Amino acid sequence: MASGRKEEMLMEEVDLKVRYKYERSWITGEKIAVLGLIAVGVVLIIIGIVLLAMATSKSNNCAVDSGIDSTSAPSHQTSERCEFSAEAKRIGLDQFVKKNRTDISRALFNEISYKKVNSDALKPRERKTLAQVEHYLKQMFGQPYDVNYYAGDWMMGPNLFCWQPICYHGYDFYNGIIYHRPYTAEDVELIRTKLETHKKGILQYIDNMKMGIRKGMVRNVESCVAGTHSVKRKYLNVSLYNETGIWKEWFAAPLLHPDFYSNITKQIDDTWKKDHGRNVSDTVKEYLLTYLGKPLHQLIRFLEDEYIHYCVPSSVSSGLGSLPLKYVWYDGKENKSWPTDPTLPSGEKLNGRHSYSLIMPFFTTNDMEPAYVHELGKTQLNKLYPMVVEIAKDVMGVNDSDQAVALFRQKLNSTDSFFNDAPIPKNETDEEAHKRCSNLMGAETYCPKRWAAMQLWFREARRVG
């Protein structure tokens, strides 16, 4: 459908922009930490505690992320990448730390909010830092999704934009591993230990989503499908070639390069081979498969084969507002004999509206509540709509408002307003197309209509830009 196509393109465009901003803002989170140290005394203490808190919430295994001076590596880096041992999970430590982390962020935010700061006495630069730190803490160390324990959205799986930390395992992995070039057999063991934490993290994520089903925190079908597509895009080669695709992922490349093992002497390699049956580089290659490829593939399979059944029709839930659900749904049907348990593991009641109000402020620069924003939207609509009607009358040369609006709508929806002159064929949109058209050459060959529309779009963008 023409309009569908247009929307999708717009979405992708927005996606790119937003993600760019996201990646930058994430990094500024850390720059802020540094700036903060220089600026206000208050901030200095706070940051100290922030770092301390982050450090304590990391197990020793988390060293894979720390101490990284990433000048050449991709700049993306998540601060939370601490997976847990089976024992930790058994006693609920994983949930606890997430909660604790949220609590710490919240406590620090309260602390800084209650400080009587005379902003006028601060230099502009200091004021900016203070505002940034506030925003940073209010938003759980500067991230919107899946990080506030109380929002409960961390049970809901990836969304269209794939902003969730799960979508950035590749970056985390890369940023950590390039500083772990092995010298000894112990170093190789250490690589295994690091990789193991990734596997645990991914499996934990699957478990969280299963919990979301039981707690009534699930997205609608469209949103689930979009989220699945975006995860598959992040781990494209795993999605295309099963777990062995991990060897083709860009972030695994350093470990497959002989340079990575240049400090392993022949003697060490031979000893290793005697003990383990294969040489060091082959062993690490196998680790990649076991600890990253397989769990990632499992995640994709879970999303596509299992989880999707539990996603609800969009008439039931279109966002957080109507969550948690009262009953578990399966294939679009409510299962009245399976009520959900709409609470957090620590007992608090889940409330989608409240979750929304926790997440929304990340995207604003003020203290507006969602209800206020909603009202504001209506006020704006009342103000702007009459102007649009006037424009419609003018453009269509019609005096009757209703008629003018109807005609104007038609004009906007006509093929002249789109880059494709006919609906995109079904076989350029389905699962097969997602595979075959996932790179430039494939797209040009197998999705010609989509490709042509995109070229027109690019041309237009260049002309306008």
Ligand X SMILES: *[C@@H]1O[C@H](CO)[C@@H](O)[C@H](O)[C@H]1NC(C)=O
Interface residues toward ligand X, by CB under 6 A = 1-3, 100, 103-104, 107, 236-237, 241-242, 244, 248-250, 259, 262-263, 279, 281-282, 330, 335, 337-338, 397, 399, 409, 413, 425, 427-428, 432-433, 436-437, 446-447
Which phi and psi angles does 146 have, rounded to 5°? 65, 15
Which phi and psi angles does 339 have, rounded to 5°? -70, 150
CB of 146 or CB of 428, closer to ligand X:
428
The dihedral through the CA atoms of 17, 369, 111, 57 has a sign that is negative
CB of 26 to ligand X, least distance (A): 20
Indicate the DSSP class of residue 325.
P
CB of 28 or CB of 57, closer to ligand X:
57
CB of 336 to ligand X, least distance (A): 8
CB 74, CB 171: distance < 8 Å: yes
CB of 3 to ligand X, least distance (A): 5
CB of 126 to ligand X, least distance (A): 27
CA pair distance 252, 281, nearest whole angstrom? 13
CB of 70 or CB of 244, closer to ligand X:
244
CB of 156 to ligand X, least distance (A): 20
Continuous segment of H or E residues that includes residue 328 = strand 327-330
CB of 60 or CB of 337, closer to ligand X:
337
CB of 80 or CB of 249, closer to ligand X:
249
And the tokens for 263? 């400090």
CB 283, CB 272: distance < 8 Å: yes
Indicate the DSSP class of residue 247.
G
Nearest Cα residue to 232 out of 393, 435, 65: 435
- Beta-carbon contacts of residue 226 (< 8 Å; ≥ 6 apart): 159, 160
Core vs surface per residue 394-413: b (16+ CB within 10 A) or e: eebebeeeeebbebbeeeee
CB of 119 or CB of 415, closer to ligand X:
415
CB of 459 to ligand X, least distance (A): 22
Rg from Cα positions in the chain = 25
CB of 98 or CB of 194, closer to ligand X:
98
CB of 265 to ligand X, least distance (A): 9
